[in-house]
Amino acid sequence: MRKLPMIHDKIITALLACLLALGGWTLSRTFSLSQDMVLVKEKISQVEKQLDEAVWNALPDADKKKKRKKKKKKNNQN
């Protein structure tokens, strides 16, 4: 009769060890995924910045034309 509680304790201990191992694995996997997400977000930010720069560099110099037109209007008014 005394061996039954001993086996019961060993089973409980083994199950707790498995639970802790799975919890540790899950935690490490979550941390790894979190680091990957940070890297992906950083890459996305860099691509967005490059895209914005490319778009602004590709636009015609509309501001210069507008300024010239404004200057001509000022000259015509004087």
pLDDT tens track for 33-72: 999 999 999 999 999 999 999 888 888 765 555 555 555 5
What pLDDT sits at residue 33? Answer: 94
**Residue at 39 is within a domain:** yes
Rounded Cα gap, residues 76 and 58, in angstroms: 32
Dihedral of the alpha carbons of 47, 52, 58, 61, in degrees to the nearest 10 = -160
pTM score, two decimals?
0.51
Mean pLDDT, residues 4-10: 86
| 74 domain-assigned | no
Where in the sequence is the domain holding 65, given as residue range(s)?
Answer: 3-69
Residue 50 belongs to a domain = yes
Domain total for the chain? 1
Position 37 in a domain: yes
* 19 inside domain: yes
- As a dihedral over the C-alpha atoms of residue 49, residue 55, residue 61, residue 63, rounded to 10 degrees, the angle is -60
In a domain, 25, yes or no: yes
Q: What is the pLDDT of residue 43?
A: 96
The better pLDDT of the pair 18, 73 is held by: 18
